[in-house]
Amino acid sequence: MMPLHRPGRFPHLKHGRTVNMSNEAPWLLHLDEKTYDEALVAAEGVMMVDFWAEWCGPCRAVGPILEDLARTSSGTVTLAKVNVDENPGLAARYGIRSIPTILFVKDGKVQDQLIGAVPKPQIQAKLNAVSSK
């Protein structure tokens, strides 16, 4: 099986700390139960946490929208993806019962959430609202 991620460092994290996780781009993190808490606290700006699964059609539909919003944010938005099949403890911690669920995190705290494959303007509106808090 081909690896999904390549090793990387995250220069956008606070205080120059480095979190040893894999990533495909500086705005995209793939988190698990071991790396989640530190990444949440260390991230600057807004982090969208996408709880998803490979078999989930709506997750595959909203994924590219989230990636586009993070990629074009000029470093102000980070997208963190959490596979609920591989990390059921994280899903349980946040009461995730439907996927996709997107948590909007700022300053290490969940500020808002969206459930389901919602249109890009609705996601952008949530990002704008959380960013201005």
| CATH number where 52 lies | 3.40.30.10
* Cα–Cα dist 119/21, whole Å: 30
> Does a structural domain hold residue 24?
yes
Reply yes or no on whether 37 is catalytic: no
Q: What's the domain count of the chain?
A: 1
Model pLDDT, residue 9 = 37
> Does a structural domain hold residue 14?
yes
Catalytic residue among 59, 69, 105, 123: 59
> Does a structural domain hold residue 86?
yes
Model pLDDT, residue 14 = 38
Model pLDDT, residue 3 = 36
Q: Calculate mean pLDDT across residues 12-34.
A: 62
Reply yes or no on whether 59 is catalytic: yes
Q: What percent of the chain has pLDDT over 90?
A: 69
> Does a structural domain hold residue 60?
yes
Model pLDDT, residue 20 = 39
Residue 125 clears pLDDT 50, i.e. is over it = yes
Q: Which positions ≥6 away from 20 have C-beta within 8 Å? A: 35
Hey, is 79 helix, strand or coil?
Answer: strand
Residue 17 clears pLDDT 80, i.e. is over it = no
Model pLDDT, residue 23 = 46
Residue 18 clears pLDDT 60, i.e. is over it = no
Model pLDDT, residue 129 = 95
Q: What domain range is 114 assigned to?
A: 6-131
Catalytic residue among 29, 47, 48, 56: 56
* Cα–Cα dist 115/113, whole Å: 7
Q: Calculate mean pLDDT across residues 88-102.
A: 95
> Does a structural domain hold residue 30?
yes
Model pLDDT, residue 44 = 86
Model pLDDT, residue 24 = 58
**Mean pLDDT lowest among 10-14, 46-50, 80-84:** 10-14
Looking at the whole model, is its pTM more than 0.75?
A: yes
CA atoms within 13 A on the CB side of 61: 11
> Does a structural domain hold residue 1?
no
Burial-class residue 8 by CB neighbours within 10 Å (0-12, 13-18, 19+).
middle
